Amino acid sequence: MARSILHMLSPLKHMSPFDVNMAVDAGFDVVIPYTGVTLEEIRPLVQDAIFSRAPGDGSRTSIFIGGKNGGLALDMLDAAKKAFVPPFALNLFTDPAGSFTTGAAMVAKVKAVLRDKHGGELAGRKIVIFGGTGVVAYCAGVLVALEGGRPVLAGHDGTKRVSDIAAGIKQRFGVDVDYADGSTPEARRAAVAGAEIVLSSGPAGVNILSAADLDSVPGLLVAADVNAVPPAGLEGVGVMANGEPFGNGKAQAVGALAIGNVKYKTELGLFRRLLATEKPISLDFRDAYKLALEIAG
């Protein structure tokens, strides 16, 4: 059998050591990082990889797309697919900055806690997502919308960027994502009015909502925070929280380590899926979400 080769591509100066470690631990025989890769370079790189091996070895050749830009990562994934020349193809997987698997894990954990603690689903619920200009929020917003929920991306610098992101999501995925101003304490409190679920994917060590802000949301059912660096993004949500009551008594907390456990297993599981497949496959955050749901129970 041909050896398993993983080409790891990033538009940034460095490939994430986290992702490299995950790929090696998953069991690839050879892992090669490429940095500073542009969208225009995807086609020749893919075709170099597919034409150097027999078509039957396409499933033993994989490309991972990293970076920190969700839209660019998806564009690179599309460009890679278009570079195939049947019967020549290979495996593809994108997870920029680990954010696709993080977003998938967060929504999967919230869905599990909502079902287990409140007997409900995501559909129809207002779900406010802070850190709205980031890739985790992008991924979570799409997944919530696909589940029938009403996601709202809250932008720390106002509404311009999050409104553009929402429009891009509509164009790419055909789902509606709302947006809100999250630039001031007053704006953030206004954004969560009427919410049943609040998600925080803002920068590490930045408090976004105080305990008083969260207590001002009487219908709050679940609050989840991916920040493991003090102070918490959502005050009162501990890093170890895994569906524990807090605040108004109805609300359940989901912390960074509970989400991170699912994220880690999801990313590792997707790398291993590349190794196990007999035919070339392509994986993005929707595939991550399916696996994260299984892992989250």
pLDDT value of residue 247: 82
Mean pLDDT to the nearest integer, 17-29:
97
Determine the Cα–Cα distance for residues 126 and 128; give it in Å rounded to an integer.
6
Measuring CA to CA, which residue among 202, 197, 269, 271 is closest to residue 231? 202
Name the token pair of 187. 């704006």
Mean pLDDT to the nearest integer, 106-130:
97
Mean pLDDT to the nearest integer, 38-47:
98
Q: How many domains does the chain have?
A: 2
Q: Is 280 part of any domain?
A: no
Determine the Cα–Cα distance for residues 166 and 71; give it in Å rounded to an integer.
12
107 secondary structure, DSSP code: H
The CATH number of residue 82's host domain is 3.40.50.10280
Q: Is 216 part of any domain?
A: yes
Report whether pLDDT(146) > 90: yes
Name the token pair of 195. 């919410």
238 secondary structure, DSSP code: -
Q: Is 267 part of any domain?
A: no
CA 165 to chain centroid: 15
Q: Is 113 part of any domain?
A: yes
Q: Is 224 part of any domain?
A: yes
Whether the Cβ atoms of residue 211 and residue 198 lie closer than 8 Å to each other: no
Mean pLDDT to the nearest integer, 194-213:
95
- Output the CA–CA distances (angstroms, integers) from residue 142 to 74, 194, 238, 288, in the order listed: 13, 20, 26, 13
Measuring CA to CA, which residue among 70, 132, 130 is closest to residue 98? 70
Give the ranges where 151-247 is alpha helix by DSSP (H): 160-173, 185-191, 211-215
**pTM for the predicted model, two decimal places:** 0.96
Determine the Cα–Cα distance for residues 277 and 36; give it in Å rounded to an integer.
29
56 and 129 co-located in one domain: no
Mean pLDDT to the nearest integer, 94-109:
97
Report whether pLDDT(1) > 90: no
- Name the pLDDT band for 176 (thresholds 50, 70, 90): very high
- Identify any residues that bridge with 31 across adjacent strands, giving them in sequence order: 6
243 and 163 co-located in one domain: yes
The CATH number of residue 103's host domain is 3.40.50.720
Q: What is the mean pLDDT of the chain?
A: 96
107 and 234 co-located in one domain: yes
78 and 182 co-located in one domain: no
Report whether pLDDT(83) > 90: yes
Q: Is 234 part of any domain?
A: yes
233 and 141 co-located in one domain: yes
Mean pLDDT to the nearest integer, 98-108:
97
pLDDT tens digits along 249-278: 789 999 999 999 999 999 999 999 999 999
Give the ranges where 119-235 is alpha helix by DSSP (H): 135-146, 160-173, 185-191, 211-215
Report whether pLDDT(244) > 80: yes
36 and 112 co-located in one domain: no
Q: Is 297 part of any domain?
A: no
Q: Is 271 part of any domain?
A: no
pLDDT value of residue 49: 98
176 and 160 co-located in one domain: yes
Report whether pLDDT(248) > 90: no
130 and 56 co-located in one domain: no
Whether the Cβ atoms of residue 122 and residue 114 lie closer than 8 Å to each other: yes
Q: What are phi and psi of 4, to 5 degrees?
A: -85, 125
- Output the CA–CA distances (angstroms, integers) from residue 290 to 18, 105, 283, 286, in the order listed: 22, 10, 11, 6
113 and 202 co-located in one domain: yes
Name the token pair of 268. 């590792």
* Enclosing domain of residue 185: 99-259
pLDDT value of residue 195: 97
Domain end (from 70, 94, 118):
94
Mean pLDDT to the nearest integer, 41-65:
97
pLDDT value of residue 71: 92
Tell the residue number behind the tokens 């797309």, with chain if given: 65
pLDDT value of residue 43: 98
188 and 145 co-located in one domain: yes
Whether the Cβ atoms of residue 37 and residue 45 lie closer than 8 Å to each other: yes
90 and 163 co-located in one domain: no
Measuring CA to CA, which residue among 82, 73, 100, 80 is closest to residue 12? 73
114 and 163 co-located in one domain: yes
Report whether pLDDT(45) > 90: yes
